[in-house]
Chains A and B, each alone.
Chain A
Amino acid sequence: DAGVTQSPTHLIKTRGQHVTLRCSPISGHKSVSWYQQVLGQGPQFIFQYYEKEERGRGNFPDRFSARQFPNYSSELNVNALLLGDSALYLCASRELGHLRAGDTQYFGPGTRLTVL
């Protein structure tokens, strides 16, 4: 079975541009979450989508938006890019919307975004 897939793997943008990152969850998983990991820090929660609805949002500005499609894949959009948006963007999938004790959340390999 394929794991969580993300595209592209690497991306270079300039300040002010817009970016769209894509994620396909593990087959059968309906929940997708997005995280931002800046160098030297742990991942920070951005969004969770379950059954195409936003179920959670982290402390990120409105420049960040996301959506989930009927096939449960997801897109993360970031507008008006800033230098500080340079990071590894991770997508994680899980079968259910809620987290039970011992539940496993599977991460994709991430998209490394560099903003110049």
Chain B
Amino acid sequence: RKEVEQDPGPFNVPEGATVAFNCTYSNSASQSFFWYRQDCRKEPKLLMSVYSSGNEDGRFTAQLNRASQYISLLIRDSKLSDSATYLCVVNEAGTASKLTFGTGTRLQVTL
């Protein structure tokens, strides 16, 4: 079983739609959680950290369920510029800088 699992997609949605991505992780010792965005042939960039209480940044909302080992990302009012791959990332306690990435979920927003 992969340490971090995501649906690879692609998710094809029209502009203005709401889309949700899910991710599960296998190590209950995971301590920190993130969503990164990666554009084609570019480096990953931090989109947002994910906290147990849930957090929102504009049109983006992230949720963490530690009991179910489940992370989600909700994008409201999708824009064409949101088209990218969204990577679910976890960090285990005591593993310093090691980030464990999922394979990513590809989103294509269309007119």
- A-B complex is real: yes
Stretch from A61-69, A70-78, A94-102 that touches the partner: A94-102
Residue of A nearest to B8 (CB): A40
A48 vs B94: C-alpha distance when bound (angstroms): 13
Q: Could you say which of B8, B31, B98 contacts A48, with CB atoms under 8 Å apart?
A: B98
Q: Which B40-97 residues have C-beta < 8 A from chain A?
A: 42-46, 49, 51, 87, 89, 91, 95-97
- The answer to whether A90 and B49 have CB atoms under 8 Å apart is no
Q: Could you say which of A44, A50, A90, A103 contacts B43, with CB atoms under 8 Å apart?
A: A90
- The answer to whether B97 and A33 have CB atoms under 8 Å apart is yes
- The answer to whether B96 and A55 have CB atoms under 8 Å apart is yes
Residue of B nearest to A42 (CB): B101
A109 vs B102: C-alpha distance when bound (angstroms): 19
- A41: chain B residues within 8 A (beta carbon): 103-104
**B97 → chain A, closest Cβ, in Å?**
4
Majority secondary structure, A binding face: loop
B-contact 0/1 string along A18-44, CB 8 Å cutoff: 000000000000010101000011111
A23 vs B96: C-alpha distance when bound (angstroms): 19
A103 vs B96: C-alpha distance when bound (angstroms): 12
B4 at the binding interface (Cβ < 8 Å):
yes
Number of A-B contacts (CB under 8 A): 75
Residue of A nearest to B102 (CB): A42
How many residues of A sit at the interface, in one of the four size bands? 20 to 34
Residue of B nearest to A103 (CB): B32
- The answer to whether A42 and B96 have CB atoms under 8 Å apart is no
A46 vs B11: C-alpha distance when bound (angstroms): 30
- The answer to whether A101 and B31 have CB atoms under 8 Å apart is yes
- A99: chain B residues within 8 A (beta carbon): 31-32, 91, 96-97, 99
A105 at the binding interface (Cβ < 8 Å):
yes
- The answer to whether B101 and A56 have CB atoms under 8 Å apart is no
* Additional A-B contacts beyond A94-B97, A110-B43 (15; CB < 8 A): A43-B44, A45-B98, A48-B96, A50-B97, A55-B96, A56-B95, A90-B43, A90-B44, A98-B96, A99-B99, A102-B49, A105-B99, A106-B46, A107-B43, A107-B44
